[in-house]
Amino acid sequence: MTSPNLSDKPGALRTFSLHAPLDLLFLLCCLILTADVLGPEIFGHGKTKDYGLWYWAGQQVLQGGPLYPGDVREYFEFIYPPLPAILLAIPSWFGKIALYTVLSILNVVAWWYTGMFSNAMTGSGQRAGPWLEALPALVTVTFVFDMFDLGQPNLVLLAMMLWGFWCLQHQRGWLAGFLFALATAIKVFPIAVLPYLIWRRQWAAVVATVAFTGILLYVVPAPIRGFERNAAELKTWYQGMVGTSSEKGFGQRDEQNWSWVNQSVIAVTHRLVRPINYNQEDPNKPPRTMNIIDVDYKTANLIVLAVSALLGLGFLAVMPPQARRTARSDAEELGILFCLMTVASPLARQYYFMWLFFPMTVLMHRAAFDVRPNVRLGTWLALGAAGILMLLALPWFPNVIQAWGNNLIATAILAGSLAWHIRHPPVASGSEPETALKAKAS
């Protein structure tokens, strides 16, 4: 049963409806996830994970306290730029329950619009039925649980980025740039979108991303923290989080960054080429290594650069030229970008792979609507292989599987499948007009 307010136009967004059974199921899931956040705070000993840190950061702003230690060599409790603390201060003024409620509502809204934007931007030319629309949310529900339970902002950032690309499709480059900048000012790694925007000559979005990032980092916090103090805190944050890297680790979380919990290209490559203890996040576990060769730290970094360059060049190689772009190829191209942004972040913990929501949605539409039966079957098989690999991250399986990069390999399968679809569009087989080539204004 579909929502009565669902547009018949493929690619259109729709609103939530109490008449749609799957929307009611979504609402039930959101209530359960929100209860996981608020229940311990109201009836138990207080919500743990990152929620206490967010309240502390908001209170530091309200009380005029420091966000970072004076010495960059000391441990940073708060590892984000000052802007998120400013944003957290507003609901923190009303107490923990108000703050946690706001964060939960943001996750609910982000989850809904992640699904809506993802299904609308697949370029399939077909309107997804209710079960196909819900399938990406069902297969990523464990990641969503992590977002609520841990209090991490990655789902909100994903919704921001999808909204930004939705705006680009509707010729709203400045709004897109603001959304990309806001995501960057909260958790930095979305800045990886900038080279893509430059390559695709989205100049309004490029200028807006750079300008608004500067405004959000330097100007917005200044009236609250003071211009000089905010600049000093930004410098401290940069030195402690971005400007420090060594054989022991990087970004203030040395024990995590080289361990099995991190499945970024950087971390997995280092574990494969250096004798790194992937159990180092827990001193009670015996040391374990997995390297297949043994090189020094500098050489390992050169290997990371080489791997990253190959991935970037491979992406450029499959991207169609401007005159051959289609709605389908744009969606597939964007799916690959989200895959690369996920694993290119220096730290890619389990919940970071929430960003595979959009690539999986695109492939599910290809598996459902491609006119070639063998392609539909192959796409479902690729999705199944990626899904099985990602299931190996569940607690029942040994951590060594994550150390070897099960999610990273799953991401590679998704990106490879999307690349295949770009290079083998159904138009080459004489498909219907929805895949007709289009030229876009640069």
Return the HEC string of the chain: CCCCCCCCCCCCCCCCCCCCHHHHHHHHHHHHHHHHHHHHHHHCCCCCCCHHHHHHHHHHHHHCCCCCCCCCCCCCCCCCCHHHHHHHHHHHCCCHHHHHHHHHHHHHHHHHHHHHHHHHCCCCCCCCCHHHHHHHHHHCHHHHHHHHHHCCCHHHHHHHHHHHHHHHHCCCHHHHHHHHHHHHHHHCHHHHHHHHHHHCCCHHHHHHHHHHHHHHHHHCCHHHHCHHHHHHHHHHHHHHHCCCEECCEECCCHHHHCCCCCCCHHHHHHHHHCCCCCCCCCCCCCCCCCCCCCCCHHHHHHHHHHHHHHHHHHHHHHCCCHHHCCHHHHHHHHHHHHHHHHHHCCCCCHHHHHHHHHHHHHHHHHHHHCCCHHHHHHHHHHHHHHHHHHHCCCCCCCCHHHHCCHHHHHHHHHHHHHHHHHHCCHHHHCCCHHHCCCCCCC
Q: How confident is the model at residue 243 (pLDDT cuts 50, 70, 90)?
A: low
**Residue 239: what pLDDT?**
84
User: From CA 37, how far away is CA 348, in angstroms rounded?
Assistant: 23
* Residue 43 identity (one-letter amino acid): F
**Residue 70: what pLDDT?**
80
**Residue 434: what pLDDT?**
44
Model confidence pLDDT, tens digit, residues 406-417: 999 999 999 999
Q: How confident is the model at residue 251 (pLDDT cuts 50, 70, 90)?
A: low
Higher pLDDT, 249 or 148: 148
* Residue 405 identity (one-letter amino acid): G
Q: Which two tokens stand for residue 196?
A: 């893509």
User: From CA 291, how far away is CA 270, in angstroms rounded?
Assistant: 8
User: From CA 127, how far away is CA 171, in angstroms rounded?
Assistant: 22
Q: Which two tokens stand for residue 274?
A: 């250096």
364: CB partners within 8 A, 6+ apart: 132, 135, 136, 383
**Residue 426: what pLDDT?**
87
**Residue 6: what pLDDT?**
43
Q: How confident is the model at residue 245 (pLDDT cuts 50, 70, 90)?
A: low
On the question of pLDDT at 439 being above 70, the answer is no
Percent of the chain with pLDDT over 70: 91
Scored b (16 or more CB within 10 A) or e, 358-391 reads: bbbbbbbbbbbbbeeeebeebbeebbeebeebbe
User: CA torsion, points 82, 83, 87, 90, in degrees to nearest 10?
Assistant: 50
218: CB partners within 8 A, 6+ apart: 230, 231, 234
Structural domain boundaries in the chain: 260-442
> Burial of 191 by CB count in 10 Å (0-12 exposed, 13-18 middle, 19+ buried)?
middle
User: From CA 334, how far away is CA 196, in angstroms rounded?
Assistant: 10
Model confidence pLDDT, tens digit, residues 334-380: 999 999 999 998 889 999 999 999 999 999 999 999 999 999 999 99
On the question of pLDDT at 11 being above 90, the answer is no
Nearest to 261 by CA among 408, 383, 385, 147: 408
Question: Which region among 1-10, 26-35, 401-410 has the lowest average model confidence (pLDDT)?
Answer: 1-10
Q: How confident is the model at residue 10 (pLDDT cuts 50, 70, 90)?
A: low
User: From CA 187, how far away is CA 185, in angstroms rounded?
Assistant: 6
User: From CA 131, how far away is CA 139, in angstroms rounded?
Assistant: 12
User: From CA 42, how far away is CA 66, in angstroms rounded?
Assistant: 29
**Residue 432: what pLDDT?**
44
**Residue 5: what pLDDT?**
47
On the question of pLDDT at 431 being above 50, the answer is no
- Side-chain half-sphere exposure of 284, counting CA atoms within 13 A: 0
Q: How confident is the model at residue 247 (pLDDT cuts 50, 70, 90)?
A: low
**CA angle 346-351-355, nearest 5°?**
80
Average pLDDT over the chain, rounded to whole? 89
On the question of pLDDT at 108 being above 60, the answer is yes
- Side-chain half-sphere exposure of 267, counting CA atoms within 13 A: 33
Please give the average per-residue pLDDT across 301-329, as a whole number: 94
Residue 245: phi, psi to the nearest 5?
-160, 135
**Residue 74: what pLDDT?**
81
On the question of pLDDT at 102 being above 60, the answer is yes
Q: Are 146 and 393 in contact, with CB atoms under 8 Å apart?
A: no
Model confidence pLDDT, tens digit, residues 143-186: 999 999 999 999 999 999 999 999 999 999 999 999 999 999 99
